[in-house]
Amino acid sequence: MKDKRVMREKHGLKPDRATILVSAGGFGVGSIEHVIKSLLELRHPAQVVAISGRNEELRDRLLTLGSEVAPESKVDLR
């Protein structure tokens, strides 16, 4: 079993925040941006890790969305 603290550090994640993993590559799950935007409104400090798999178009949209996160947001998007 891998050490959670070590893995968070390795991937640049904050050790004191809840971590939410969203994986929505190429399965056509609908508007993943809507899910991410909803998570960004959380009041609890958290970090969202979004994985797009091989879907380059989705990756680009998620990167754009990440660049638009307000600095005062309690939620980080990676």
pLDDT tens, 24-51?
Answer: 765 555 678 888 999 999 999 999 999 8
pLDDT class for 76, splitting at 50, 70, 90? very high
Average pLDDT taken over every residue of the chain:
87
- Give SS3 for 30: coil
Q: Which two tokens stand for residue 56?
A: 């380059």
- Strands 46-51 and 18-23 turn out to be parallel
In the chain, pLDDT over 90 holds for what percent of residues?
47
CB 59 within 8 Å of CB 25: no
Rounded to an integer, what distance in angstroms lies between the CA atom of residue 78 and that of residue 76?
7
Taking the model in full, what pTM does it have?
0.81
Would you call 8 exposed, middle or buried from its count of C-beta atoms within 10 A (0-12, 13-18, 19+)? middle
Q: Rounded to a whole number, what is the distance in angstroms from the first to the last CA of the chain?
A: 24
